[in-house]
Structure 1
Amino acid sequence: MQDIIALMQQPEAWIALATLMVMEIVLGIDNLLFISILSNKLPAGQREKARKIGISLALILRLGLLATVAWIVQLTQPVVTILGNELSWKDMILIAGGLFLVWKATKEIHHHVDPTDHEDTMIGVAGVTFGGAIVQILILDLVFSIDSIITAVGMTPHIEIMVVSVVVAVTVMLLAANPLANFIGQNPTIVMLALSFLLLIGTTLIAEGFGVHVPKGYVYAAMAFSATVEGLNMWARNARLRKKAAEH
């Protein structure tokens, strides 16, 4: 308790906490985006439950990984060399998660472009099961959780700060889950934009796994720009609809 009180009296600790909370929330957007798209494919009565379970699993995984920080740090040590690249367990997990995201997003884009083809879709056949959705969410939760915790370890040595930032980030995810999923469900064009974001995120994870650092600022700036353009398109469409309704 005395250690925590002493930590609270350090200005640099509060700065680290604020910075890490922002980082964790930003990293959580990727996780939440996937959960929102996948949960929208379930029957209406199961969607909110799937989101809450998925986000709760994300919190449990993050806190569980924080309890094994010493083991997490070892994940960054090279364990195998492939095509001249030394890969750690973290790298291989990021590559696998990136491939999983790219595969899922590509198949779902194909499903939206060719709606008559209902076979072999990964997210979104009408018969997707609740259990199957939770398993897929869990897989991506693990990937994003490891990335999140390694980021936290690199930013501060204080476990207390990591725990608070993770809890705050997951709480924000929980509060934003339903509004985001409903917004995506009510605006079909947003679905394609969100899937393109997942493709971008997946590609970034693969690149990071192979040691090619992609500054997160560039990735999120591109996503923000695309979202702004789509927002302007939606504004223009709504304006045309209001004008047409007024004329009648």
Structure 2
Amino acid sequence: MEILFTPNALIALLTLTFLEIILGIDNIVFLSIVSGKLKAEDQPKARRIGLLLAMVFRIILLFGITWVLSLQESLTHIDWGFFKASPTGQSLIIFGGGLFLLYKSVTEIHHKLEGEEEGEKGKASNGLSAAILQIALLNIVFSFDSILTAVGLVSMKDPAQGGFGYEGALLIMILAIIISIIIMMIFAGPVSKFVNEHPTIQILGLSFLILIGVMLLAEGSHLAHFSFGNDGEVGTIPKGYLYFSIFFSLFVEFLNLKMKKSKKTVKLHNSEIVDDKLKDTDFTN
């Protein structure tokens, strides 16, 4: 507890909490879309259960950190000449999560654009238990990513060597997870309401999930040391690029929504000149 109140520990706690919230954005988007298909009275329950499951999975994985780190060891070696790989338990989980996210996102986009319109009957048929199962499966994948980030950020070395020690580091990571989940619980309702009220935001959210799915596939392939021919191992997609594209797309969409609500019509420069020329043009010939 004494280590927790040191300046370095507080900085690590704030930094890790912020990173956990950033890493939880994709979780909130997925929660919003899945819970949006439920009855109105079941949606808050699904969000709360989903975020609580995320917190429980992360804390359990923290206490089993030795097992989590052991998943980074190669299970087998594959050498087919044109394809080489050394898959690990972690890479298989992340790769499977990417496939699930791609399947779910594409299916939801197809349903919203070409499927039947959702009515109360459609929402009622989508059970709470099925939604929670989907949320739980994806939470497992997101939890691994979150925990490995936390372990990489918070040093478990002895305090004499500049670390926080095992117990101190564990306490910092658990507090960061709890604080970040509480913050996400506060904002999950308004975010879900906003997403479900705007169809364009829903499609953007599903597009983001496709991007995250591709990122997970690339990360899983990299951790499994996938190599095709002489091209070298598959690389990862920097998360900074991904989050920049997400925030930039949201910024553009917010501008579009604001312009839509505005009563004033946006008029392009030189539009009056073009209108005058069109009036004077004889189209009869």
TM-score norm. by structure 2 comes to 0.78
Cα distance in 2 for partners of 1:220, 1:17 equals 22
Over aligned residues, Cα RMSD in angstroms? 1.7
Rounded to whole Å, the distance in 1 between the matches of 2:72 and 2:17 is 23
Instruction: Write out per-residue CA displacement over residues 192-245 of structure 1, whole angstroms, 9 at most, x where no aligned residue.
Output: 0000000001110110001122221111001011111111111111114x77xx
Matching residue of 1:135: 133
- Per-residue Cα deviation, 1:50-87 (whole angstroms, up to 9, x for no partner): 11111111111111111111111111112134541222
- Give the secondary structure class of the aligned counterpart of 2:236: coil
Contact 2:38 2:123 in 1 (8 A): no
1:192 and 2:203 aligned = yes
- Other-structure match for 2:95: 95
**TM-score under structure 1 length normalisation:** 0.89
Give the counterpart letter for 1:221 in structure 2: F
The 5 Å alignment of 1:94-243 reads 94-116=94-116, 127-156=125-154, 157=156, 158-211=169-222, 212-240=235-263
Which residue does the alignment assign to 2:2? Answer: 5
Deviation readout 1:15-68 (Å, 9 max, x if unpaired): 222221111110111111101110010011111111111111111111111111
Counterpart-to-counterpart distance in 2, 1:91 and 1:39: 28
AA at the equivalent of 1:151: T
Q: Which has the higher helix share?
A: 1
Q: What's 2:51 paired with? A: 55
Q: In the TM superposition, what is the alpha-carbon distance from 1:7 to its structure 2 partner? A: 4.1
| Equivalent residue pairs, number | 233
- Structure 1 residues 231 and 117, CA, compared in 2 at 3 Å: closer, same or farther? closer
> Which of 23, 35, 40 pairs up with 1:39?
35
Task: Flag structure 1 segments of 5+ consecutive residues without an equivalent.
Answer: 119-123, 244-248
Distance in 1, Cα, partners of 2:48 & 2:261: 32
Does structure 1 retain, via aligned residues, the 8 Å contact 2:4–2:172?
Answer: no
The SS at the match of 1:84 is strand
Q: Which amino acid is 1:85 matched to? A: A
CA deviations over 1:123-169 (Å, ceiling 9, x no partner):
x7662111101100100111111111111111112111111111111
